[in-house]
Every structure is written in structure tokens, then in C-alpha cells.
Chains A and B, each alone.
Chain A
């Protein structure tokens, strides 16, 4: 009896979670006539790629895609590099002010983008970085870096310190301990953190929309948001673009899920 009830609840959940995404993907394969028939049919009667052809035939769209890819990749690498250094320093050493830095990183993690929007906009203008991808990358680092540091700290905490000490006894330097011992042990953790940063940057909208105004410099989310707020909405193209934007994210997330779950449950909220 309970098993049947649980089964039904799970089925309902799967539908609620899956329906919006499935509906978007299905709509993107429907030719124009079918998109606007009433009552709507669930499955496309004639599968069509016409919206994908139109979307990808648009030069702006290609730019959006490449811009997002570039920005998110740089953010990912920067997060992995700075984040690993920081997490290593915070978990392996006991220096003065260490606690203050731990707390600051956690507080920075809580500072919302809307609070940073205006000052960052002004600062990037002053530094002549507005309209450039550098500005967006820095802005995305303010969001992703504190998150990455926390995730990485939880990975590094799990590694036994005794290995370090044994290596030091054998005459290894700090740098060697870091590069030869710690790094190989947490490659997967660091890579997963980087991919999460990539996803966050790829998905980010507010700061990217404020810092970039030139069409060819915009990111996918910003370009797409412009399409859906215009008066004439080209639904087919939008569904295709939405699908193109979402699929890479879901694939990447599937790859790093295991580490994400481990890191978040160890590090995000302790009761």
C-alpha cells in the first residue's frame, strides 16, 4: 500500500520536473503549423529541424554561444586555480587571520549579485572594462569563487594530513607536497568544482546583461532573454535556442553530480 503511494508520488514528481523541459524540446521540433494548433498535440506529427536551422543560421546566435563558452571556460579555469590555492592554504596551514578569511569567504558567498550590480557597473566603467568580456569574467568570479572555495575546502578537509607530514619527513618542500601529493588526490574534486563554476557562469544573467551592451558581445542567456521580452516572439526559434542552451548544462551536471552531492552535503549547511 505505502509502496504504491510512494510510486505514484514519484511518478507525479518526475512529470512535474520533466514536463517543462520535455515540452520545450518537443516544441522545438514542431513545424510552425503544429506549434500553433489548438488543442496542442503532445508529440510532433512531423519532426522538423527548421527552427534549429534558423537559430543556428543567425550570426548573433553563434556569437552568443561562443561568448558564453569563452567566458564560462575562463571562469572555470580561474576558479580551479585560485580556488585550489585558497582551499589548500586554508585547510593545511594554521596562520593568523585564517579564520577571518574563512568567514569572509562564506560571507562573500552570501553577497547577492543585485547588490554588486551597480558598483561593479561603475567600477568596470572606471577601469574601461565595461563592454568587454574581462568585466563579465570578473563579475562571474565574484559569484563563483566563494562557492568554489567552499566546495574545495570540504574536499581538502577529507584528505588525511598524515600523508603531508610523511612527505615532509622525507624532505619534500611545501610546493612539492602541493603539486605531487595533494593535487593528484583531488583532481576529480577540483575538476568538478570547475565544472560547477562553468555552469554558474553559463547560466548567469543579471551581471552579464548589465556589463555588456554590444550585440556581438552578449552571452547566450542575455541574448535569449532579449528574444523573449521582445514584442514579436518567434516561439519556434526560442524553443530551439532554449534547448541548445540547456542541454550542455545538464550533461555537464550529470558528469559531476557525485562530487557535487558529496561536497554540498559536507560543506553547504551543517545543522
Chain B
């Protein structure tokens, strides 16, 4: 190629790029408008609602300052539900990360039918929460549930009793169900991370006489540190705000033992119609999550090219 055409090419691409940038913006306009209208505006609107006495059963509402917040913090039950949220989130996230990593280690090794196995193990990711809820209510049914039957036979449960009706165990049941439906995501991410670790470091370690456990602790785990942190933060956001499963399995009961903040927000909104108050609770949850979101967005490395 002679210098004339190369210069020509550069000029052509240069002017192309300028015009190009405006057009580029045009491509993203629909999404920008949508996010402004239906994500950013609702979030801001929620902030405003939290300072009003807005209700679903009266037409007018007025600004009442931080009274909703005072009402929340002077309610002892709020702290109980907040603590439930912490328990639910901590154990769910810990469980799914440990299980996800464990399974990833298991399936990262080459084996016959490995892809099919991975596909099968991903299924819970798309099983509707309502399906999981109805199955668990069925297998834990006090009279006819198969798991209840096994537990009753083993003497771990009295006749005609169900774990879902007991205050302590109910929380563990929903946590375990939640781990069942959410481990595939960490599994997939860990699986990809394990694949990307250079195999040579293991060879070197084996030559140096390290056993499997040592190579895992000293070589594999440190390489997964960043993945784990980012993953944990993302899962905390999803879990702490996740409503469907608890609502459908226990409805927050028995006697509030599985009520967490999302359930409380729902009850305040559509149970007692105090949406100003509900908005304030969701602001508290939102502020906590906001920190996590900022952390995730900056640390995930996803916005780099």
C-alpha cells in the first residue's frame, strides 16, 4: 500500500469517527431515557416519599420531615427484623459461595460428561422461586410431606409437626432453600476463574513437593480473592433485598421469625398502606445497599475496556 492511500484512509476514518460519535450516542438514547424514567426517577421519588405521610388510603399527603425514620428507629421490632435480614443474608451468601466454590473445584477437572453435568447443576438458577416454594411446602407438609416424614421417623421431629411452623428452624429452612437456588451463579464464576489460573504454577508447586491441600490454600485461594470479594458484594445486594422466596414459603412467619426488611417493606405498603413509612424502611435498606453497589461497580472491573 503506498503512502497516498494510507493517508487517505486515515482522513476517511478520522472524519468517520467524528460523525460516528454523535451516531454512537443516538444508539444509546433509548436506554438512557428508559433508565432515567423508570429507574433513576423511581429511586428519587422513593427518597421523597420517605419524608411524607403518604398513604394508599387517603388522597393527600404532606411533608413530615424525618418522622418516619424516628418511628422506625423507636420500634423495637425493627431491630429484630433487621437482625433477621443480617442472619438471612450472611448465611445465604456464605453458603452459596462455599458450595459454589466446592462444586466449581469438582467440575473444573476434565471428566466424561463434564459439560452435561455443569448444565444440569445450573438448572436451579432458572427454576422459578414459586416452584421451589411450592415443592418445599409440599415436602415439609406436617402430615404428608416426605421430608417431614423422614425427620419424624428419625425422631428429629414430633408427629404432625413441620419445620416451617417452628420459629428457629424456619429461618434455616429458607436459608437452605435460598442456597439451593443461588449457588449456580458463584459456581459458574468460580469455574471460569479456576479455568483462567495458569496450570504451570501447579506443576511448579508439585515439583516442589506441595500436596493438594497446600497448593489449594497457598496457590488457588489467593488467586480467587478478588473474585470472591466482588462476588460476595453482588450476592449481598441480591440476597438482602430478595423478597419472593421468604414471602412464598413462610410469609415472614412463624411470629415474625423469618420477617426481614423486604417483607417488612411489603407489609407496610400493602398490609397497612403506609407507603411513606414503607419508603423510609426501603431507604434504610437502600442506603446500606448503595455502599455495596458503589463498591461493586468500581471494583468489578466491568467498565474497563
Contact of A265 among B138, B188, B304 (CB under 8 A): B188
Asked if A1 lies at the interface with its beta carbon under 8 angstroms from chain B, I say no
- Minimum C-beta distance from B13 to chain A (A): 7
> How many contacting A-B pairs (Cβ < 8 A)?
287
- Minimum C-beta distance from B121 to chain A (A): 6
Question: B131–A246 contact, CB under 8 A?
Answer: yes
Question: A111–B43 contact, CB under 8 A?
Answer: yes
CA distance A252 to B271 in the complex (A): 36
- Minimum C-beta distance from B281 to chain A (A): 10
Asked if A24 lies at the interface with its beta carbon under 8 angstroms from chain B, I say yes
CA distance A269 to B300 in the complex (A): 6
Q: How large is the interface on B (under 10, 10 to 19, 20 to 34, 35 or more residues)?
A: 35 or more
Asked if A180 lies at the interface with its beta carbon under 8 angstroms from chain B, I say no
CA distance A206 to B302 in the complex (A): 28
Which residues does chain A contribute within 8 Å of B149, judged by CB atoms? Answer: 38-40
Which residues does chain B contribute within 8 Å of A82, judged by CB atoms? Answer: 30-31, 34
- Closest residue of chain A to B31 (Cβ to Cβ) is A86
- Closest residue of chain A to B225 (Cβ to Cβ) is A271
Asked if B286 lies at the interface with its beta carbon under 8 angstroms from chain A, I say yes
Asked if B161 lies at the interface with its beta carbon under 8 angstroms from chain A, I say no
- Please provide the chain B residues from 254 to 296 with a CB less than 8 Å away from any CB of chain A in the complex: 262, 265-266, 269-270, 275, 278-279, 282, 285-286, 289, 292-293, 296
Which residues does chain A contribute within 8 Å of B9, judged by CB atoms? Answer: 169
Question: B230–A85 contact, CB under 8 A?
Answer: no
Residue from B126, B192, B289 having most chain A Cβ neighbours under 10 A: B126
Question: B127–A97 contact, CB under 8 A?
Answer: no
- Closest residue of chain A to B305 (Cβ to Cβ) is A157
Asked if B24 lies at the interface with its beta carbon under 8 angstroms from chain A, I say yes
- Minimum C-beta distance from B31 to chain A (A): 4
Question: B192–A265 contact, CB under 8 A?
Answer: yes
Asked if A56 lies at the interface with its beta carbon under 8 angstroms from chain B, I say no
Which one of B62-70, B87-95, B241-249 is at the interface?
A: B241-249
- Please provide the chain B residues from 36 to 68 with a CB less than 8 Å away from any CB of chain A in the complex: 38-39, 41-43, 45-46, 49
- Minimum C-beta distance from B130 to chain A (A): 5
Asked if B238 lies at the interface with its beta carbon under 8 angstroms from chain A, I say yes
Asked if B27 lies at the interface with its beta carbon under 8 angstroms from chain A, I say yes
Which residues does chain B contribute within 8 Å of A269, judged by CB atoms? Answer: 189, 227, 230-231, 234, 300, 302
Which one of A46-54, A102-110, A183-191 is at the interface?
A: A102-110
- Minimum C-beta distance from B300 to chain A (A): 6
CA distance A138 to B185 in the complex (A): 26
Asked if B81 lies at the interface with its beta carbon under 8 angstroms from chain A, I say no
Over the window 88-128 of chain A, the binary record of Cβ atoms lying under 8 Å from chain B Cβ atoms (1 yes, 0 no) is 11101111111101111111101111111111111100000
CA distance A89 to B27 in the complex (A): 5
* Shortest 5 CB-CB contacts between residues of A and residues of B: A93-B24, A89-B27, A119-B42, A112-B241, A265-B192
The chain A residues found within 8 Å of chain B, CB to CB, are: 6, 9-10, 13-14, 16-18, 20-21, 23-24, 27, 35-36, 38-40, 82-83, 85-86, 88-90, 92-99, 101-108, 110-123, 138-139, 141-142, 145-146, 149-150, 157, 165, 168-169, 174, 199, 202-203, 205-206, 210, 221, 224-225, 228-229, 233, 235, 238-239, 242, 245-246, 249-250, 253-254, 257, 261, 264-265, 267-271
| Additional A-B contact list (6), CB under 8 Å, known A110-B292, A168-B16 | A36-B143, A38-B144, A93-B20, A122-B45, A145-B34, A271-B226
